[in-house]
A and B are shown apart, each in its own frame.
Chain A
Amino acid sequence: MSEKSPNITAAEQYAHTLDKYDLIQGNVYKLLEVAHVNAVYGEPVTQGDQTIIPCAEVLAGVGFGFGGGFGSGTQSEGEGEADTESNTGSGFGGGGGAGGRSFSRPVAVVIASPEGVRVEPVFDITKIALAALTAAGFMVGMIARMRRPSKFGEE
């Protein structure tokens, strides 16, 4: 039989899509290379006799998914007649998606000079101020609630 089976064609399509899926998977997982040490320490900057190396923490997340399927069917024409002709068809469908996000935040700066090497922390004043205000609000609220006489205290 010289005619190629439509099922094999669909299977081939599916295999081809799976190859693409492997390619996508490989590319997406490249995002997880932020686990490397070079993602955390920046390029050194030299100014005079001092060299500064920035340090940051990196948080990255990726996710992706894929789905697909194929099928085939036969449609008969002229059923019950002698010249019955059957049409065979097949189809394939698939789709996928991927997403990710990464955050980076400076943590410290390394300063190397002829006197020695030291690490200077980086303070994120905005984050600290927001945390302090939130904490103060919670504490004031809790203390006010404690000092307030209970509704059922007189019963």
Chain B
Amino acid sequence: MKTPYFQVKNRTGEPYYASGHKIVPLSKAYILQFPGLHGGIVWNRPVGLAVTASDGQEKILPVHDKTRRIQLALLGMVLAVGLLTVLASSRKSGTS
């Protein structure tokens, strides 16, 4: 069977039992295999936790990557300022 070049796999791990809670880890893996070449890249990151309390209540706790969010926000700011600069300079040159 031919392996697809790009796969997204949602995985569930073995549950942890701590302080009366059952914690099931969830992860998402992005797998890229180069067509025609041998090898590949795997990016695996935590998605969240399925927590079951002792009273049976279940909830999903997401795991956010705050560092990456801040980096992306800064990148967004740079792109926005760059766009505004280009727009402002083109308007300036258009009026002069």
Give chain A's interface residues, CB within 8 Å of chain B.
25, 28, 32, 34-41, 44, 46, 49-51, 53, 55-66, 100, 105, 107-108, 110, 112-114, 116-119, 121-124, 127-128, 131-132, 134-135, 138-139, 142-143, 145-146, 150, 153
Contact = CB atoms under 8 A, between A and B. Distances in A.
B65 A114 contact: no
Contact of A139 (B45, B49, B77, B92): B77
A100 B42 CA distance: 11
Given A41-B46, A63-B37, 14 more contacts: A34-B42, A40-B46, A55-B63, A58-B44, A59-B42, A62-B39, A65-B37, A117-B19, A123-B70, A127-B67, A142-B81, A142-B82, A145-B89, A146-B85
Contacts, number: 170
Interface of B: 9, 11-14, 16, 18-21, 23, 25-27, 29, 31, 34, 37-46, 49, 51, 53, 61-67, 70-71, 74-75, 77-78, 81-82, 85, 88-89, 92-93, 96
A134 B53 CA distance: 44
Contacts of B9: 35
A135 B73 CA distance: 10
B38 A65 contact: yes
B11 A36 contact: yes
